[in-house]
A and B are shown apart, each in its own frame.
Chain A
Amino acid sequence: MTGLRIWWRLHRAPIAILVVASIVCGLFGIAYAENIRCDASLSATDCSQFLIYNPPSSIFTLALAVLPILLGVVLGISTVGSELESGTAAFAWSIVGSRRRWLAEQAVASCVSILVLGMLCGGFNALIVAKLNPGHNLPTSFVGYGLWGPILVVRGLSAYGISLAIGAMLRRVTASVALGLVLVTAATIAALVVGRSFETSQVLASNDPGIYDALGVGSGIPGPNGTFQTWDDCVLTEPLGLDGDARNAWPLEHCREVSSYLPGSKMVDVELRESAVLALLGLLGFGAALALVGSRRP
């Protein structure tokens, strides 16, 4: 308990600030989602788009999605990087018998705080997204994908592992924060891409009811073998012998752009795959930090 109490005293400021920020964003977001209504003139589709993309709710949900990542970066860099920069590592590492035990204790406490903040933000965002999208079953829908649920916890933990390694490597807080944010953003994007890249997309018609729960993954002109092709390639496939109006009408009819989607039922698979990539990157960061801490000169 002593270790935990001292860890809390050292890191309470950023944690308290981010928890308060998440509560403020969550409460304002829920209140806003509770009261916002579509204009009667909007169609159901336009209303759905309006509710999810209108600026105030976007700001709240986006902030809530980013806060666990920020906490991961801040705690990751302050655990080793700021200790090395300020010189307190010389005190700490001359006291502890095992630097790895010391790092493990810090990491457990940090991960618990990221878990709590991630669940808080993920929970708030689930409520906001559900209120803005009534009638959708969120666990089988890509509505608000990536903004709510356990993926926020995984992103925060991954950011922590990556930032831990960067802080231990660079030994400077400002440089570590800058590089940490870049790498964490890159890791998040890479995980997003990998998460959906192993699924087969479907072309859905704009009037297909499943489209509201689906995730758009691409658009183009359908070609042979289920691939997309360019307009010029499509026009080249025009049959011989057409002339006049028939020839003008053919491309408009056969080279129409369509969109492909992942159906909502794939949401859990995509999220699990994305989480696995993030967890792997986070663990790699943590492993690198363990190795660096063992050999670093305080």
Chain B
Amino acid sequence: MGFRNDLELISSWIKPNSKVLDLGCGDGYLLKMLAEKKNIKGLGVDNDINKIKLALKKNVNVLQLDLDTGLETFNTQSFDYVVLAQSLQVVKNPDKLIKEMLNIGEEIIVSFPNMGHWRPRLQLFFKGMMPVTDALPFKWFSTPNIHLCTISDFVGFCEEHNLRISQRVIVNKNQKSSLLIKLFPNLFGEVATFRLR
């Protein structure tokens, strides 16, 4: 599954014994894996009670909070890492959230689906309709993804807000890179993962 591979990548960036806050943690898969492999102390946040139930079953500490309002809960620089995996596009104020994340964590990790990929571009160009793809399977009226962006958008955002990108990995939906992705990341990359400080 692409999503889980995405988490494998994030996991590889996290130092052992660190403190990790996972925003939009889902069933707690990443935190569980990190606890087992790297002995981290983790805390998850999700607003879906069914995900909370699954995380509790995995013995992952998890808070049922809304990302749009819940981050005031955390103190400045209280985590080593704050992770936002594939959830940037569902929040009301992504810019505010990223700033809050940078306040809470020493380093933040953000991954998102790339709307600049050629497939959504072609759909919009030829069909003249909002793209519906494997990675973004929802129709315009029922999608939870209200703030989609392209890799170029995100890089521009980081420049505008003076955010330092320490690493970025751009891959296709099978978590593989290629020459084309390296040459034209915003056209051929499907999932982008950034490390920011």
Are A and B a genuine interacting pair, yes or no? no
